[in-house]
Amino acid sequence: MTSPPAYQPPVLEGARIRLRPYRDDDLPAFFALRADPVAMRYGSHPAWTHPDQARDRFESSRHHNAPDRQVCWAIAARDDDRLLGSVALFHINAAQRLADIGYMLETASWGRGLATEATTLALDHAFAALGLRRIEADIDPRNAGSCRLAERLGFVHEGRLRERWEIAGETCDTSLYGLLARDWKSARPG
Ligand SMILES: CC(C)(COP(=O)(O)OP(=O)(O)OC[C@H]1O[C@@H](n2cnc3c(N)ncnc32)[C@H](O)[C@@H]1OP(=O)(O)O)[C@@H](O)C(=O)NCCC(=O)NCCS
């Protein structure tokens, strides 16, 4: 049996979803999310094809959280606690009070405002509880849903990094977005 992690991300309640730490029984859904080629089209790796590919990332998301390293939450439905997606603050740089944000939802839950709800909770935590001052999002410019979500949250498009990544033989640009703590109060979705 694995011992419980030393630090657990807090449970944050939204209207329709909650952010909570991963549980051991989330592993199949965690894999299924990242095995969907539609959801992974603009992801940092191609869709997984075998459950073994999920183990290291799941282990890290479940057990290797710390306020000065990364905070990985499951996005779960409020009614039945089923895993719907992921949101994470990662590459946390405590000295610079800086972090990246990443998010994804199962395709069946897209277009209902759930990612807006989940990322708003994570950003509240980033600025108020962790005291961060800047959050960055690295988004493929072709990923219209993610670009729109970032803009909806008040992120500013700060530049385009050409051919930054090579994923499954395809070079991909980055649209770099940034959100400052001082802008969050006015930008925060109602
Ligand atoms: C990006 C993602 C999280 C958005 O989830 P979602 O729950 O559908 O987003 P929301 O419903 O909260 O919508 C947020 C905004 O984006 C808009 N939007 C969502 N999908 C869109 C799309 N495909 N094209 C254009 N706009 C879109 C919504 O209309 C909304 O804007 P509005 O408030 O002005 O109406 C989801 O599409 C996803 O998981 N994609 C795959 C993983 C991924 O790409 N993650 C990001 C990697 S950088």
Q: Calculate how far, in angstroms, residue 95's C-alpha sits from the geometric centre of ligand 1.
A: 31
Give the CA diameter of the chain: 46
The predicted pLDDT at position 39 comes to 98
42 touches 142 (CB < 8 A):
yes
Q: Which CATH class is domain 12-187?
A: alpha beta
- Is residue 118 within 6 Å of ligand 1 at its C-beta? no
Is residue 182 predicted with pLDDT exceeding 80?
A: yes
Write out pLDDT tens, residues 112-171: 999 999 999 999 999 999 999 999 999 999 999 999 999 999 999 999 999 999 999 999
Model confidence at 180, in pLDDT bands (50, 70, 90)?
very high
**How close is the Cα of 149 to the center of ligand 1, in Å?**
5
Q: What is the mean pLDDT of residues 26-39?
A: 98
Any ligand 1 atom below 6 A from CB of 122 = no
Burial of 43 (0-12, 13-18, 19+ CB in 10 A): middle
Confidence tier at 6 by pLDDT (50, 70, 90): confident
Pairing, β 134-139 against β 83-93: unpaired
Q: Is 30 in the pocket of ligand 1 (CB under 6 A)?
A: no
Say if strands 83-93 and 156-167 run parallel, antiparallel, or are unpaired. Answer: unpaired
- φ/ψ of 161, rounded to 5, equals -100, 115
State pTM to two decimals. Answer: 0.96
Distance CA 74, CA 134 (A): 22
C-alpha of residue 152 to centroid of ligand 1, in Å: 10
